[in-house]
Amino acid sequence: MKIFAANWKLHKNPKETREFFQEFKALCSLRPQTKVLFFPQAICLEAALTAVSGTGISCGAQNIYFESKGAFTGENSAQNAKEMGAEWALIGHSERRSLFGEVDHGLAKKVAHAQSLGLSPMLCIGETLDQREKGETNSVLKLQLVQGLSLAEKSKPLAIAYEPVWAIGTGKVASIEQVRETHQAVRQMLTELGFSTSTPILYGGSVKKDNAKDLIQIPNVDGFLVGGASLEPKSFWDICSVDV
Ligand code: PGA
């Protein structure tokens, strides 16, 4: 199973969301060996869920809090997202870590909370350019996995998105060799931590139609998390429909 996930970040309003899906649904014919899902901003989640109802396309929240309700101004309730029909929660995206100060300890609680509600968490991990150049990639990723998954239930669904920070939104995609090595290392770390060998590991960072067809063939690349190239129906569908 290959997963093609769109991270819309803070783009699109509800009207643009509906228009996107009108066009996207006309293009897309889902294959049994692939899963397509969208992470719209919370304000557009309802529009997205209504648009994909009955199509087999899934949606998730870009961020959740680890409590379902209470005095937490500005946060998103995972329980509400689940009740609305969301199936996924994106957790620990590098923008959440670098711009909003999210740390592994809190992310672990979010992962566990999502799982407890029946949402599949997609935990994002990735090294900075400085960390890669210093040879710290594997130790950084290992720490993010160990801490981020410290409260996770191994028997419940979850996915990892490996996104080198230096490749996000920069047009700089990691090389085939870098992706091969790093996904293999992440797979080994997950196995050592006791997670199933079928835990999906997605690659993210400047994925486009042109690089998607080679990247998807790399062992342990179980799909993509796509930012910029997911904003236009045709450009995202071109990625979702690569040969797998
Ligand atoms: P990008 O974003 O595809 O625009 O690099 C990926 C992401 O941030 O998830």
Say whether pLDDT at 178 is over 90: yes
Domain ranges in the chain? 2-240
Classify residue 167 by its DSSP letter: G
- Judge if the beta carbon of residue 212 lies within 6 A of ligand 1: no
With cut-offs at 50, 70 and 90, classify the pLDDT of residue 125: very high
Cβ 169 under 6 angstroms from ligand 1: yes
Amino acid letter at 164? P
Ligand 1 mean position, distance from CA 118 (Å): 26
- Dig out the tokens for 215 from the structure: 């990247």
Residue nearest to atom 2 of ligand 1 (CA): 227
pLDDT of residue 205: 95
Distance 153 CA to ligand 1 centre (A): 27
In the block, residue with structure tokens 């979850």: 158
Indicate if the pLDDT at residue 216 is higher than 90.
yes
Q: Which of 90-99, 171-180, 212-221 has the lowest mean pLDDT?
A: 171-180
Taking the centre of ligand 1 as the mean of its atom positions, its distance from the CA of residue 6, in whole angstroms, is 9
Catalytic-labelled residue, pool 102, 127, 163, 183: 163
Q: What is the pTM of this model?
A: 0.97
* CA nearest neighbour of 51 among 78, 74, 75, 28: 28
Question: Does the beta carbon of 164 lie inside 6 Å of ligand 1?
Answer: no
The answer for residues whose C-beta is within 8 angstroms of residue 26's C-beta and 6 or more apart is none
pLDDT, residue 30, reads: 86
Burial class of residue 9 in the structure, from the number of CB atoms within 10 Å of its CB (0-12 exposed, 13-18 middle, 19+ buried): middle
Q: How confident is the model at residue 169 (pLDDT cuts 50, 70, 90)?
A: confident
CA 44, CA 14: separation in Å to the nearest integer?
5
What's the mean pLDDT in 41-55?
97
Say yes or no: CB of residue 106 within 6 Å of ligand 1: no
Tokens at residue 134, please? Answer: 């210093």
Secondary structure element (H or E) that encloses residue 37, with its range: strand 34-39
Q: Does the C-beta of 228 come closer than 6 Å to ligand 1?
A: yes
2-240, superfamily in CATH? Aldolase class I (3.20.20.70)
Contact 209, 233 (CB under 8 A): no
Residue nearest to atom 6 of ligand 1 (CA): 227
163 given a catalytic annotation = yes
Question: CB neighbours of 222 closer than 8 A, spacing ≥ 6?
Answer: 1, 2, 3, 159, 200, 201, 202
What mean pLDDT value characterizes the chain?
97
| Length of the chain, in residues | 244
Q: Report residue 154 as tokens.
A: 């191994």
Q: How far is residue 141's CA from residue 149's CA, in Å, rounded to a whole number? A: 12
Q: Return the closest-CA partner of residue 124 out of 91, 100, 157.
A: 91
Any ligand 1 atom below 6 A from CB of 159: no
- What per-residue confidence (pLDDT) applies to 171? 84
